Amino acid sequence: MTNTPRKPGFHVAAFATALALVVVLLGAYTRLTHAGLGCPDWPGCYGFIHVPSSEAQLAHAEQHFPEAPVEAQKGWNEMIHRYFAGTLGLLIAGLAVHALLRRGRDGQPLRLPLLLLGVVIAQAAFGMWTVTLKLWPQVVTAHLLGGFTTLSLLFLLALRLSGAVQPLQRAGAPRRLAAFALALVALQIALGGWVSSNYAAVACIDLPMCHGQWWPQMDFANGFHLTQHIGPNYLGGQLDSDARTAIHMTHRIGAFCVVAVLLVLAWRMQRVGLIYPTALMLLALSLQVGLGISNVLLHLPLPVAVAHNGGGACLLLSLVLVNYRLRSPVTAASIARAGRARALPALERPVAYPSQG
């Protein structure tokens, strides 16, 4: 750690990171309360910017959306999620504009804010398709992954703007293992999204076995059939029990793999002196494992299920921090030089002197 001054935009990036975590939790709450279609249109709700409530508004909703009766609670769950997501999108757009205006100054990141802007635009499209394609699992999972990607990139931007987290100057740092662990956790989050979008969280309600068997009857072909038909309403899921069991068990196996890899990574990290990042990662891992077990044994209580999504986000961010801390000093120096190099042309322009005759 050093006392490098924070760069302009740090506080906005940090606030946006916190807001992105709230949006992830709100998205989980919306899915788990079956409110993904609480508003059958996008970006409004039955043609309004809020959930219809007056008699005239309800009559309008019934006339234009006869197949989707107004359920105020579900509608508000969905709209509150959209309000927060829209606010986050505006903040990210502001960060991108700020980066463009300050490009080339003091190592100000430019590509990362622009990448974030692209991701949040894609997220808006996935949010629309989630509704218009009636919770098609592929889109719901992609939308969830987009939310976690937005959160991770904002956290990375905040780290870069903080100026406080420097690369580890030590040989033997487990950089490749940390990168693999990050990818594995991202894959496990994708599996969790597939579990959620196919309503497979309670396909197994016992531990450590499933339906009293170590290897129950499962249908992997249909469970991971990635070209399901577009058209039917996927609220509640369309798969049979064997397919959902296959999804659930795959997520469990993924959890065992994540635990094993992160324990090895923690051992390697403490050997090179990374005590605090290791402790944070293990704390997030322990929390997530405990929440996952509670989800099964308690049959998916809403607070625990939402917290499990938050735990996944915290575990992912801990791996982002670990990888940022373990990044190569050469890479970190090249990033800093690139920022300074963009500023040099303006300082090195030749001065035009008046003619002497």
Catalytic center residues: 78
Q: d(Cα 144, Cα 50) in Å, to the nearest integer?
A: 23
The DSSP call for residue 45 is B
Distances (CA, A) of 331 to 228, 269, 291, 335, 341: 43, 20, 37, 6, 15
